């Protein structure tokens, strides 16, 4: 029998969920998505670089397969998906994404146009010299804390001893839970100058720092055009940068010009270059501009080169402004300088980022020189022992020869114990009792080789001792004097700037809002054609006149309209979709049209067209709406003249659908036909004019299970014949009755 008492802890489910979710959120924020302000790295980046360092994949050694690096990182330090590790590795090797690449990639690491990197089994990598010297240089000097890895079988650095504010140099982007970071890259030389300025004057303002750090410096170049907003962005850590591509004008033979885009906004990286080309092509197709003759992407490893060939009389400035306005050649970059500081996420100003990093630099430098000092003090102790030993070397040799084992010698050297040691004289024994070497000195003496007793070697030992004393004095001065330590840090920063600094690539200026004067469209009459499959096109009126017979044979909807008009499409779902005539390609008569699905929100798989007409015609009409449930109404056409691309053209009862929409102003009678073969003819004036948001009134009394199949509009003297049960039937024969009656079933 189990007598053990179970201790059931009762708790509110909401509390458990809240605590679990907060734990998960903090794990994502701290351990995955956000960089640390000290080294500017996310955990996956830090672990990958450290693993490469541990594997010995240095900048001056051969490349190693990325699959090896990813596998080792995942097995030792980062127990997450291999794809996330490889993606981080790839990004650190892409010079078009990072201000300074941290990994030297060999093979296909993707392109600026959005091509992905090759699989990790094909690519190779090694550390960049910058990474090895500036990010990982002093790891052997106990400069940072090491923590256990996920299974406590290895140790990994909690942070890398990075000597530059990498958060600014390379920027960062990441999406956590409830927060995201987006920090633009900056110029290394300017960042170093800003750090030095802060170290010389801790009271410096953000505005003062910006005398050195002008603004972001994107690897893709481009232009930041809202210079005046930068101060507020750097003071608050949030804001929006307005970026533009760099456009140059080149002259061709014959006086023609071409626009050449040589630098793109950072936000246009990847697939957005292809989207930009498509957007420009769309502007040409929709006749928004007729100035562009040809578009070509001539980009290569040398850089971006997108060429737009222009007509002779092109207004280049206006066209450039149109590209800024209508495409991503001008874009915004949202800045949110969020990073992990003191173990928690914090939105930081420019000064705070530098402040945190400088504090980290002093901490790292202090630990480095404490380690170096302790090593020098250890050397000093040993050197003093060896120098002292050289002075009494004869006595030490006598002790060695008179002793039975190593322990006896050591006790004599350290404590002066001479028991069981044979001496040549009492004087030697008395001198031996006065020896007081330290443990470390005694060990060094016992391990000393005889050649060290040569005169020159003794002199070298004394010279080394002098050098050690100088180093001790230097290290103590650095550790005890703020200015000395600051001087060391600044000297290191100057060396980094000299070796790795580059010129600024992104221009920073104030530019006025783009003013684009859209050319007024030349108003002209065109012909609209739509076939039974919904393929739509616009042709010249003259082309229609030449092919009138073929046009009517092949198309369902044909009418003339102005190119400034809109086309209205009424569907059985009760919606009205509009298409601007200017958005429909103007083609030759035999060219295939464009599906209406591609030009509007109309979905041919879910709804059926009932009525298509130009907005100008709809405006001057009174439309009849009839539903399968026999609800009908008249609506003034001007109710449909709206700016939205899609609206509800009528209100439908649940389960009901439209079966007929048509212009009724010239018609006098309505005929309704049900699925069971009943017909009802009555005067149109019996149907009230309602708003488009009304359901309407009943047209025919339907038998149970019956629905309306079709509606017809007639003139009083018009002969209108339909096919019913495969036989011709004249609707004029239907007895004129009243609305809301049962109707008749003809004998055929």
pLDDT value of position 220: 92
The pairing of beta strand 306-310 with beta strand 292-297 = antiparallel
Residue 410 sits in the same domain as residue 374? yes
Residues with catalytic roles: 122
What CATH number does the domain containing 302 carry? 3.30.1360.40
319 plus 370 within the same structural domain: no
Contact 675, 710 (CB under 8 A): no
- Confidence (pLDDT) at 748: 63
722, 626: one domain: yes
**Residues 535 and 489 grouped into a single domain:** no
**Displacement of CA 214 from its chain's centroid (Å):** 24
Q: Around Cβ 309, how many Cβ atoms within 10 Å?
A: 17
Query: What mean pLDDT do residues 249-275 have?
Result: 88
CA 605, CA 672: separation in Å to the nearest integer? Answer: 27
Cα distance between residue 148 and residue 133, in whole Å: 24
Residue 461 lies in a domain: yes
| Contact assessment for residue 568 and residue 612, using Cβ atoms and an 8 Å cutoff | yes
Quick one: average pLDDT of 4-9? 73
Position with higher pLDDT, 451 vs 170: 170
The pTM for the full model equals 0.73
SS3 561: strand
Q: Where are the alpha helices (DSSP H) in 305-404?
A: 316-326, 350-391, 393-402
Domains in the chain, number? 4
Based on the fold, state whether residues 640 and 560 are members of the same structural domain. Answer: yes
Q: Coil, strand or helix: which one is 719?
A: coil
Phi, then psi, of 438 in degrees rounded to 5: -80, 165
Neighbouring CB atoms inside 10 A of 118's CB total: 14
Any idea which of 203-217, 265-279, 403-417 has the lowest mean pLDDT? 403-417
User: In this structure, how many other beta carbons lie within 10 angstroms of the beta carbon of residue 303?
Assistant: 13
Query: Of 274, 250, 280, nearest to 262 (Cα)?
Result: 250
Tell me, rounded to whole angstroms, the distance of Cα 169 from its chain centroid.
17
Question: What is the CATH classification number for the domain harbouring 687?
Answer: 2.120.10.90
Helix axes 316-326, 271-285, angle to 10 degrees: 120
Check which CATH number belongs to the domain holding 421 and give it. 1.10.268.10
- Determine which of 230-244, 356-370, 418-432 has the lowest per-residue pLDDT on average: 418-432
- pLDDT category, 30, cuts 50, 70, 90? low
Distance (Å, whole) CA 58 – CA 133: 10
Q: Does 748 fall in a domain?
A: no
My answer on whether 259 and 363 are in the same domain is: no
Q: Is residue 295 part of a domain?
A: yes
Of 484, 499, 514, the residue that ends a domain is 499
Q: 107 pLDDT band (50/70/90 cuts)?
A: very high
The answer for residues whose C-beta is within 8 angstroms of residue 539's C-beta and 6 or more apart is: 526, 527, 529, 586, 587, 588, 589
Q: For residue 740, is it within any domain?
A: no
Rounded mean pLDDT, 10-14: 79
Give the mean pLDDT of the chain: 89
Cβ count near 161 (within 10 Å): 23
Q: How confident is residue 404, by pLDDT bands cut at 50, 70 and 90?
A: confident
The answer to whether position 727 is within a domain reads yes
Asked if the structure places residue 421 within a domain, the reply is yes
Domain annotation covers residue 447: yes
Distance between CA atoms of residues 143 and 130, nearest Å:
18
| pLDDT tens per residue across span 196-221 | 999 999 999 999 999 999 999 999 99
- Report which of 639, 640, 743, 635 is spatially closest to residue 690, judged by C-alpha positions: 635
Same domain, 576 and 437: no
Asked if residue 704 and residue 585 are part of one domain, the reply reads: yes
Distance between CA atoms of residues 359 and 159, nearest Å:
14
Domain finish residue from 161, 193, 227: 161
Q: Of the given ranges (216-220, 506-510, 513-517, 543-547), which has the lowest mean pLDDT? A: 513-517
Among candidate residues 657, 663, 643, the one with its CA nearest the CA of residue 608: 657
pLDDT of residue 61: 94
* Full DSSP string of 247-293: EEEEE-GGG-EEEEEEE--GGG-THHHHHHHHHHHHHHHTTS-S-EE
The predicted pLDDT at position 133 comes to 94
pLDDT in tens, 727-743: 888 888 888 899 999 98
521 pLDDT band, cuts 50/70/90, is low
Report the C-alpha gap between 272 and 333 in whole angstroms: 14
Can you give the residue range of the structural domain that contains 607? 525-733
Same structural domain, 382 and 443: yes
Least trusted range by pLDDT, from 51-65, 307-321, 366-380 = 307-321
Question: CB 175: neighbour CB atoms within 10 A?
Answer: 12
Establish if 90 belongs to a structural domain. yes
Domain boundary among 465, 499, 533: 499
Q: Which two tokens stand for residue 8?
A: 């059931």
d(CA 306, CA 277): 9
* Residues 564 and 707 reside in one and the same domain: yes
Q: Which residue has the higher pLDDT, 452 or 403?
A: 403
On whether both 668 and 728 belong to a single domain, the answer is yes
The pLDDT, as a whole number, for residue 446 is: 83
- Regarding whether 530 and 494 lie in a shared domain, the answer is no
Residue 99's CATH number: 3.90.199.10
Tokens 């006790």, located at residue: 411
């Amino acid at each position: 029998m189990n007598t053990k008492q179970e201790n059931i802890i009762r708790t509110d489910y909401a509390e458990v969920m809240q605590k679990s979710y907060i734990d998960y959120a903090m794990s994502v924020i701290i351990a995955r998505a956000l960089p640390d302000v000290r080294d500017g790295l996310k955990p996956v980046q830090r672990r990958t670089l450290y693993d490469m360092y541990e594997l010995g994949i240095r900048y001056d050694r051969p490349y190693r397969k990325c699959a090896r690096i990813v596998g080792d990182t995942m097995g030792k330090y980062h127990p997450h998906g291999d794809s996330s590790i490889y993606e981080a590795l790839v990004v650190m090797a892409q010079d078009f994404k990072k201000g300074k690449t941290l990994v030297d990639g060999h093979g296909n690491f993707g392109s600026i146009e959005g091509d992905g990197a090759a699989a990790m089994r094909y690519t190779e990598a090694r550390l960049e010299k910058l990474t090895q010297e500036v990010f990982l240089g002093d790891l052997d000097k106990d400069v940072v804390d090491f923590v256990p890895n996920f299974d406590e079988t290895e140790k990994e650095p909690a942070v890398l001893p990075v000597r530059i504010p990498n958060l600014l140099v390379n920027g960062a982007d990441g999406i956590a839970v409830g927060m995201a970071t987006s920090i633009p890259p900056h110029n290394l030389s300017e960042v170093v100058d800003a750090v030095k300025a802060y170290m010389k004057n801790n009271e410096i303002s953000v505005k003062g720092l910006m005398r050195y750090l002008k603004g972001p410096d994107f690897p893709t170049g481009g232009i930041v055009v809202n210079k005046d907003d930068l101060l507020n962005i750097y003071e608050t850590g949030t804001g929006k940068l307005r970026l533009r591509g760099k456009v140059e004008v080149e002259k061709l033979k014959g006086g023609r010009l071409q626009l050449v885009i040589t630098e793109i906004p950072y936000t246009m990286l990847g697939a957005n270059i292809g989207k930009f080309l498509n957007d420009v092509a769309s502007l040409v197709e929709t006749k928004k501009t007729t100035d562009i003759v040809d578009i070509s992407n001539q980009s290569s490893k040398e850089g971006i080169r997108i060429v737009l060939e222009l007509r002779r009389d092109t207004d280049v400035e206006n066209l450039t402004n149109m590209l800024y306005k209508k495409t991503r050649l001008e874009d915004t970059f949202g800045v949110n300088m969020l990073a992990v500081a003191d173990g928690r996420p914090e939105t930081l100003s420019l000064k705070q980022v530098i402040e945190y990093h400088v504090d980290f630099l002093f901490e790292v430098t202090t630990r480095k020189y404490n380690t170096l000092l302790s090593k020098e003090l250890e050397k000093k102790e040993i050197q003093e022992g060896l120098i002292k030993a050289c002075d009494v070397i004869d006595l030490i040799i006598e002790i060695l020869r008179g002793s039975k084992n190593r322990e006896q010698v050591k006790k004599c050297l350290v404590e002066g114990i001479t028991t069981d040691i044979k001496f040549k004289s009492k004087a030697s024994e008395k001198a031996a009792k006065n020896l007081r070497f330290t443990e470390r000195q005694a060990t060094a003496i016992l391990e000393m080789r005889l050649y060290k007793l040569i005169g020159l070697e003794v002199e070298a030992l004394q010279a080394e001792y002098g050098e050690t004393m100088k180093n001790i004095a230097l290290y103590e001065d650095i550790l005890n004097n703020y200015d000395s330590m600051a001087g060391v840090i600044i000297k290191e920063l100057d060396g980094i700037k000299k070796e790795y600094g580059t010129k600024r690539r992104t221009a920073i200026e104030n530019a006025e809002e783009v003013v684009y004067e859209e050319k007024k469209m030349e108003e002209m009459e065109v012909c609209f054609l739509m076939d039974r499959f919904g393929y739509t096109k616009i042709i010249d009126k003259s082309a229609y006149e030449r092919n009138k017979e073929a046009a009517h044979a092949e198309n369902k909807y044909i009418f003339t309209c102005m190119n400034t008009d809109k086309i209205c499409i009424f569907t059985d779902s009760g919606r009205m979709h509009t298409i601007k005539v200017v958005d429909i390609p103007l083609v030759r008569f035999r060219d295939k049209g464009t599906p209406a699905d591609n030009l509007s929100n109309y979905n041919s798989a879910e709804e059926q067209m009932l009525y298509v007409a130009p907005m100008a015609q709809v405006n001057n009409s009174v439309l009849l709406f009839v539903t399968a449930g026999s609800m009908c109404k008249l609506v003034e056409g001007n109710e449909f003249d709206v700016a939205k691309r899609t609206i509800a053209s009528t209100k439908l009862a649940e389960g009901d659908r439209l079966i007929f929409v048509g212009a009724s102003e010239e018609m006098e009678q309505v005929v309704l036909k049900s699925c069971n073969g009943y017909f009802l003819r009555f005067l149109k004036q019996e149907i009230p004019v309602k708003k488009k948001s009304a359901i309407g009134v009943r047209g025919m009394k339907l038998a149970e299970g019956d629905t309306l199949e079709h509606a017809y509009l007639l003139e009083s003297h018009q002969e209108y014949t339909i096919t019913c049960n495969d036989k011709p039937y004249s609707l004029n024969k239907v007895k004129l009755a009243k609305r809301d009656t049962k109707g008749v079933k003809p004998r055929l």
